[in-house]
């Protein structure tokens, strides 16, 4: 989000829809076989990125737009813990040790403590969700995630009636994360949602993409995906989830409060102080492709607009 030089545009095309549809059918077909293998149980202990996962496509919550290529999704990334250039995460995140991994649960919940990743995931069948991702920098992609509904995971910790927000924290480890040796952000990266946002069916905890275990540069082994909000809300490599009464601090809001709010709902009507949010550049669409209009809530208004009935979205950007 620190706008330095223009992002390099690679002419790789988006995955042709027919190829993607075929892959989906293959995934669906593989399900019956793979179901017996209990895919979620295979996650955790030492599951290298790229390992195939069995996941059922959630068509109702997926866009039919063509997904970006594996190449686009895994080489054009924002993950400042590994550097600020789009190509840095793919180059530097390989060294991150993602197993064993655990998540600390704290705050306003009856069930608290440290949970091994495999135990966190075990009860939940994996779903494929094809979501648009709209970065606040005004580029976008379509990504076929694999994950579990955030709400289902959170409910197991029995949040109390005082839990109004959920805060998430990324790993802090400057040895493994070279970007944390520079002060480009306050580390660790933190994010948060209102509890009703966190419980919305579209909010996903992702463990994979394209039917495979998440590459490290995409936030392995566990990252949030909130498709109606700017990409920076979708925090990577989560080690802590905390239920709280107060609105938690968030990294980009702390860094530049005039530019990045807590809500960060995709909103073409509210420009970033330094650029327009009315249109976006679809990664992989080609050098001469026109920019496309940015949609309110990134096209998920039907699903989520009711969450913000009582909120002035111009002030609460």
95, 141, 147: which is closest to 121 by C-alpha? Answer: 147
CB neighbours of residue 7 within 10 Å: 17
CB 259 within 8 A of CB 233: no
CA gap 234, 226 in Å, rounded: 6
| Nearest CB to Mo ion, comparing residues 135 and 166 | 135
235 binds, among Mo ion, ligand MTE, none (CB under 5 to 8 A by kind): ligand MTE
CB 132 within 8 A of CB 299: yes
252 sits near Mo ion (criterion: CB under 5 A):
no
Residue 93 binds Mo ion, judged by CB under 5 A: no
**Residue 80: which of Mo ion, ligand MTE, none does it interact with, CB under 5 to 8 A by kind?**
ligand MTE
Return d(Cα 124, Cα 41) in angstroms, integer.
Answer: 10
In what helix (H) or strand (E) does residue 186 lie, and over which residues does it extend? none
Q: How far apart are CA 207 and CA 109, in angstroms?
A: 24
How many residues make contact with ligand MTE (CB under 6 A)?
Answer: 16
C-alpha distances (whole Å) from 272 to each of 137, 168, 260, 305, 317 are 9, 24, 8, 21, 9
- Rule CB under 6 A: say whether 101 interacts with ligand MTE: no
Please, what is the minimum distance in Å from the beta carbon of residue 231 to ligand MTE?
2
Q: Within positions 279 to 308, which residues make up the interface with ligand MTE, using CB under 6 A?
A: none
Q: Which does 83 bind (CB under 5 to 8 A by kind): ligand MTE, Mo ion, none?
A: none
Say whether residue 89 binds Mo ion (CB under 5 A): no
Question: Which string of x and - marks every residue 117-136 that binds Mo ion (by CB under 5 A)?
Answer: ------------------x-
x/- string (CB under 6 A) for ligand MTE, residues 51-80?
A: --------------------------xxxx
Among 232, 262, 263, 297, indicate the residue that binds Mo ion (CB under 5 A). Answer: 232
Q: Which helix (H) or strand (E) holds 34?
A: helix 17-35
Considering the complex, state which of residue 83 and residue 159 has its C-beta at the smaller distance from ligand MTE.
83
Q: In the complex, what is the shortest distance from the CB of residue 116 to Mo ion, in angstroms, rounded to a whole number? A: 30
- Asked if the bond preceding 8 is cis, omega within 30° of 0, the reply is no
Q: How far is CA 108 from the centre of its chain?
A: 24
Q: Would you say 81 or 127 has its CB closer to ligand MTE?
A: 81
* Buried b or exposed e, range 98-108, using 16+ CB within 10 angstroms: beebbbebebb
Query: Quick one: what does residue 189 bind among ligand MTE, Mo ion, none, with the CB cut-off 5 to 8 Å set by partner type?
Result: ligand MTE
Q: How does DSSP classify residue 10?
A: -
Question: Which residues in 223-242 contact ligand MTE (CB under 6 A)?
Answer: 231-232, 234-236
Let me know: does 219 contact 237? Beta carbons within 8 Å.
yes
Contact call for residue 149 and Mo ion (CB under 5 A): no
Dihedrals φ, ψ of 42, to 5°? -75, -15
Residue 218 interacts with, from Mo ion, ligand MTE, none (CB under 5-8 Å by kind): ligand MTE
Contact flag: residue 203 with ligand MTE (CB under 6 A): no
CB 212 within 8 A of CB 50: yes
Least gap, CB of 93 to ligand MTE (angstroms): 10
Least distance in Å: CB of 86 to ligand MTE?
9
Binding residues vs ligand MTE (CB under 6 A)? 77-81, 133, 135, 170, 189, 218-219, 231-232, 234-236
């Amino acid at each position: 989000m620190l706008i330095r030089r223009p992002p390099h545009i690679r002419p790789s095309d988006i995955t042709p829809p027919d190829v993607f549809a075929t892959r989906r059918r293959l995934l669906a077909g593989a399900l019956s076989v793979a179901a017996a293998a209990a895919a979620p149980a295979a996650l955790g202990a030492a599951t290298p990125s790229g390992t195939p996962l069995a996941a059922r496509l959630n068509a109702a919550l997926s866009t039919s737009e063509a997904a970006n290529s594996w190449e686009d999704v895994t080489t054009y990334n924002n993950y400042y813990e590994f550097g600020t250039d789009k190509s840095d995460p793919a180059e530097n995140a390989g060294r991150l040790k993602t197993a064993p991994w655990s998540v600390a649960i704290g705050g306003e919940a009856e069930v608290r403590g440290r949970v091994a990743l495999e135990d966190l995931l075990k009860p939940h069948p994996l779903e494929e969700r094809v979501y648009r991702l709209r970065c606040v920098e005004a580029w976008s992609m379509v990504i076929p995630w694999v994950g579990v509904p955030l709400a289902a995971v959170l409910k197991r910790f029995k949040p109390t009636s005082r839990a109004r927000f959920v805060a998430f924290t990324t790993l802090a480890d400057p040895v493994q994360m070279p970007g944390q040796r520079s002060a480009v952000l306050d580390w660790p990266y933190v994010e948060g949602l209102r509890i009703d946002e966190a419980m919305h069916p579209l909010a996903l905890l992702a463990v994979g993409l394209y039917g495979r275990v998440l590459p490290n540069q995409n936030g392995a082994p566990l990252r949030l995906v909130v498709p109606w909000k700017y990409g920076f809300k979708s925090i990577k490599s989560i080690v802590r989830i905390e239920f709280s009464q107060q609105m938690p601090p968030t990294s980009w809001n702390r860094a530049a409060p005039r530019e990045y709010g807590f809500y960060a709902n995709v909103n073409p009507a509210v420009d970033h102080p330094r650029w327009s949010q009315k249109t976006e550049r679809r990664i992989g669409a080609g050098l001469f492709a026109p920019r496309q209009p940015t949609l309110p809530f990134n096209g998920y208004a039907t699903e989520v607009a009711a969450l913000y009935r009582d909120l002035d979205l111009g002030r609460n950007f």
